[in-house]
Chain A
Amino acid sequence: MTPADVSAALTAHGYLPNDGLTTSVFLAMQLRRPLLLEGEAGVGKTELAKVLSAWTGGELIRLQCYEGIDAAQAVYDWDYARQLLHLRAAEATGETAGRSSDAVEAELYQERFLIKRALLRAIGHGDGPPPVLLIDEVDRADDEFEAYLLEVLSDYQITVPELGVFRAATPPIVILTSNRTRDVHDALKRRCLYHWVEHPDFDREVAIVRLRVPECSDQLARQVAAAVEAMRDLNLYKPPGVAETIDWATALGKLGVSTLDQHSVETTLGTVLKYREDHDRVRKGGTQLLLEQAMGHR
């Protein structure tokens, strides 16, 4: 496999990476290292994991991080309700009679009562292609959880005290994303490959729109990409990401718009901009001006 293969494969699955991202993904797969992606919201961090899963055929296992996430939600838990039922059933049929409580207890901690959460599923998977483990917004989790992740991602193994060690035959492909609400710990960063995902340049964005929204004409795709590019220069609260560009092109396509005009921009602005202040700013700056920029582009 070469980086060019990675690029071709991702493109074939609807994701147009630039060289930096291609190389990072290639290295992550070859070196079996987690890949930490940072970048503005909507530049396609999460999307990459989905595309990788579609390409490799490995199951996409997503772990959405949040403050207070703990092992029972991320690694494994026991199915206590089933354990209790099992215990009651054994009691009722007299199976427990004359047996030590240790023996009864051991019976309850079998793998069939184990609920595997994302991390254990990613580590303890069976045959087939390794899964793609997406650890989304890792910056939202607590430090303790990050430290735990570090351990899991270093050895790709998880210990369940009652059952023993689960070890991945082939480690999963791991994508971590962060929105930089706080710094991810250095120790975790050291373990990962790192890539800062940029907004795509104009031509790539046009290509992305063409790829993802086939019904959108080349002309409209260029106008949309140019208008979005102009909006990114307007000092908005939330400059539109690629995700918004695609949404916008899709919306325009559904409305049967073939070329941008003032009316179509104003009625569909909500798919691109998500703050009232941003709407005001674009309107004040003049959608007309925006259009001129969009029309005059290349």
Chain B
Amino acid sequence: MSANTRDAGEIAVAFTRVLRGAGVRVPTSSTIAFGEALAELGVDHRDHTYWAGRATLVRRPEDIELYDRAFAVFWEHAAANTIFELTEEEEIQLVVDSDDEDDDGDTPDEADPSDEPTIELRFSATEILRRKDFADYSPTELEQAQQLMSRLRLAGSPRRSLRLTSADSRTARPDLRRTVRAAMRAHGEPMRRHYLQPSTRPRRLVLLLDVSGSMEPYARALIRFVHAAVAGRQKVEAFALGTRLTRITRELASRDPDEAVSRAAVAVADYGGGTRLGDGLRIFNDEWGQRGMARGAIVVVLSDGWDRGDPEVLAEQMQRLQRVAYKLIWVNPLKVTPGYAPLARGMAAALPFVDEFVEGHSIDAIEHLADVIATP
């Protein structure tokens, strides 16, 4: 039995016990099937594990709700024990219990796990980290997140360039250089004609990160995303928006993330201060955007939209920015909050001029953002 199969089997057994505790009848054959399914899919992804269990352990629709609750408990339990050490996969001791709301007395006491069988469980902490809200990050997790983010591919949609490259098929533009070179080999007979077509270039990406007080828990994670973007790609510009506007592209250009982030923090004098988004955007538009930096670019504003300035100013500046930008994306870490409505005056004022409004609270959300940036 390979290590992976063994892990899968153990998880299958452990979870089945939780599920039985929740009141679902699970035959042993189903447990085995679940183990086999996990061995196929791996145990790194919550979704994979969830659906493997749904497919093999649940037989009646009435059990789905119970299954969901058991799964949530099981997963959170596993997560709680793994999130602090993030190197590779972590071996943990999982106490198997049937922690549920309708406890009926046979629930083992968590404080005394020796009574209960304990099962070794391997789980990839990465998967948990991906969904975790940035605001809940420990410093260690921040570092791990940085690694995940540096692997993001921020492709950006391409635009047509004036530059021409050789074409595979016949186009309107002949490539005289190559045709002549080829003709020379044929003693002046242009037997094979070559053609040109416009090449494509990535669009400029401009990132405006709100570093005001209300954004503080998110800004410290998002600045790592901004760094990953600046360090990993050409034609990226980064600014910190607070009570004033600070350009941090140069500070973030260092390959070493810690150095880059600390240099940027030094440059941003008003880290954690108040917000006047409208004024910050006005300065951006006046000094940089209108002149050309935002023209045809993908502009990303990372902010919770809490603004102490005049919403009219913000709306006006957003409109200005949208007119020159190719795409204007607003990333709001609060958007994920259940029942969130853009009630902050600033957010409400800005929203009509936003092309895409996306979440930004976790690595998964940032990954989605990368997709939005890449979509033409």
Contact = CB atoms under 8 A, between A and B. Distances in A.
Nearest to B180: A80
Contact of B187 (A81, A101, A181, A182): A101
Nearest to A238: B290
Interface string B254-296: 0000000000000000000000000000000111101111010
B184 A108 contact: yes
Interface in A125-172: 139-140, 143
B176 A84 contact: yes
Contacts, number: 69
Interface in B51-110: none
Contact of B179 (A84, A90, A96, A101): A84
Contacts of A41: 291
B162 interface: yes
Contacts of B190: 84
B163 A68 contact: yes
Contacts of B237: 182
Interface residues of B, number: 31
Given A84-B176, A140-B292, A181-B288, A70 B185 contact: no
A66 B183 contact: no
Interface string B214-234: 000000000000000000001
B185 A101 contact: yes
Q: How large is the interface on A (under 10, 10 to 19, 20 to 34, 35 or more residues)?
A: 20 to 34
A193 B287 CA distance: 22
Given A67-B201, A80-B176, A88 B188 contact: yes
B320 interface: yes
Contacts of B162: 66-69
Given A67-B201, A84-B179, A96 B292 contact: no
A237 B293 CA distance: 15
A285 B27 CA distance: 81
A179 interface: yes
Nearest to B320: A237
Interface string B144-181: 00000000000000000111000000000000110110
A138 to B, nearest CB: 12
A197 B320 CA distance: 26
B284 to A, nearest CB: 12
B161 A68 contact: yes
Contacts of B285: 237
A190 B237 CA distance: 22
Contacts of B201: 67-68
A181 B293 contact: yes
B294 to A, nearest CB: 9
Given A101-B185, A139-B292, 8 more contacts: A41-B291, A67-B201, A68-B162, A70-B163, A78-B177, A80-B177, A108-B184, A181-B295
